[in-house]
Amino acid sequence: MIEDIKKEALELIRSAKDSAAVERLRIRFLGRKGEISKILRSLKDLSVKERQTVGPVAQQLKKDIERLIQEKTAVFSKSIQQGLPGIDITMPGKKIKIGYLHPLTLIEKEIRGIFKAMNFSVVEGPEVETEYYNFDALNIPKNHPARDMWDTFWLQNSQQLTSDKEQLTKGQESKVKGQMLLRTHTSPVQIRYMETHKPPFQIIVPGRVFRYEATDASHEINFYQIEGLMVGKTVTLANFKFVIQEFFKRLFRSDIEIRFRPSYFPFVEPGLEVDIRCIKCGGRGCGICKDSGWLEVMGAGMVHPRVFEAAHYNPRDFQGFAFGLGLERMAMIKYNIPDIRLFYSGDLRFIQQF
Ligand SMILES: [Zn+2]
């Protein structure tokens, strides 16, 4: 029975939250009618033998409780002296749950930082686009076979969005003509930016894009791109090579070998693909690079004269490079993520690793 009281008393006093609670416990156990006092008083009714065993235990318990109450009171009066309310500052605090940044947020932040350090501005554009900005102005006219490269989500209510046609000038009308769509790439922002700015400039355009296609380990119906555009009087592919080499060096924090391969995109001429030496195997060949030793990471090229014309630049006055890369692809390479669908699965076990 004494053991039970001891256990309860010590536990209660230890977890007391303020000095008033300690005082209540002092009265409950040590007060005149307190539980310990009662035991001590009842000793006289016991036999001599019982008294010899119970007595010292009860006395010891009384001392233990007194000492603990003293310690506890000291803690509270100390916190009051320090200007804190009478709380036990030695009690363990409640753990606050903190969130995690999504790996796509992390990589976008890092890429923005790298380009900003190289004097690029960050520009954004609408996710719902007109056919004009998404295709026509980028030298991908209707019925052009190249349009098949972009499987598109078309919007049905395009008529509403393009009402008030009477108030539009002829030039404006051609830009809203055609159906509305979910942009298939961030490239329309190139045109939108050039329409309102004069070179020289260098921008990056991070943003969400949409493709009407089946999902698998490397394809999603929506994903994130970063577009780059640098225009001036003398901007060449040599400038691009430097910028992009510097970018990969900073992103992967090591000297990364890159190579250019000729390729075709309607809005650039010449067009090229950029590969980097496989991060995983260093070029010897592995599953990630499909034994080629190289990873495809972006499309790029010199801006096509027709694109400049669409933005009312004289292509003889200016030249520049453009590039586009997939954020998911970068994150998959950098963080060693095997499946693009993980980014959108909402699985906390995935997110909590970052
Ligand atoms: Zn490899």
In the chain, where the domains are located:
2-81, 103-351
**Most confident residue range from 106-120, 150-164, 337-351:** 106-120
pLDDT for residue 240:
98
pLDDT grade for 179, boundaries at 50, 70 and 90? confident
| pLDDT given at position 171 | 57
Which segments within the chain are labelled E, that is strand? 121-122, 128-130, 180-182, 201-210, 222-232, 258-263, 268-277, 294-303, 319-326
Report whether pLDDT(174) > 70.
no
Nearest to 64 by CA among 96, 92, 95, 36: 36
Quote the ligand 1 centre to 290 CA distance (angstroms): 7
Question: What pLDDT is recorded for position 10?
Answer: 86
Task: Please state, in angstroms and rounded to a whole number, the distance separating the CA atoms of residues 204 and 39.
Answer: 81
Was 269 annotated as part of a binding site? yes
pLDDT at 9: 87
Q: How many residues does the chain have?
A: 354
Query: DSSP letters along 217-280, please?
Result: TTB-SEEEEEEEEEEESS--HHHHHHHHHHHHHHHHTS---EEEEEE--TTEEEEEEEEEE-TT
Residue 255 alpha carbon to ligand 1 centre in Å: 16
Tokens of 70: 């003293």
CA dihedral sign, ordered 220, 222, 223, 229: positive
Q: What CATH class is the domain 103-351?
A: alpha beta
Q: What is the pTM of this model?
A: 0.70
- In the structure, ligand 1 is a single-atom ion and the residues with CB under 5 Å from it are 278, 280-281, 286, 288-289
Distance CA 106, CA 174 (A): 39
Q: Quick one: pLDDT at residue 51?
A: 85
pLDDT tens by residue, 131-151: 999 999 999 988 887 787 788
pLDDT score at 170: 54
Distance from the CA of 277 to the center of ligand 1, in angstroms?
A: 8
Query: Model confidence over 202-247: pLDDT tens digits?
Result: 999 999 999 998 888 888 899 999 999 999 999 999 999 999 999 9
Task: State how far the Cα of 337 lies from the Cα of 317, in Å rounded to an integer.
Answer: 44
**Residues forming the active site:** 150, 185, 211, 225, 268, 322
The rounded Å distance from CA 278 to ligand 1 centre is 4
How do residues 33-63 score in pLDDT, each as one tens digit?
888 888 888 888 888 888 888 888 888 888 9
Q: What residues contact 206, with CB distance under 8 A and at least 6 apart?
A: 108, 111, 112, 122, 124, 186, 224, 225, 226, 227, 327
Rounded CA separation 212/55 (Å):
85
Reduced to 3 states, what is the DSSP secondary structure of residue 339? coil
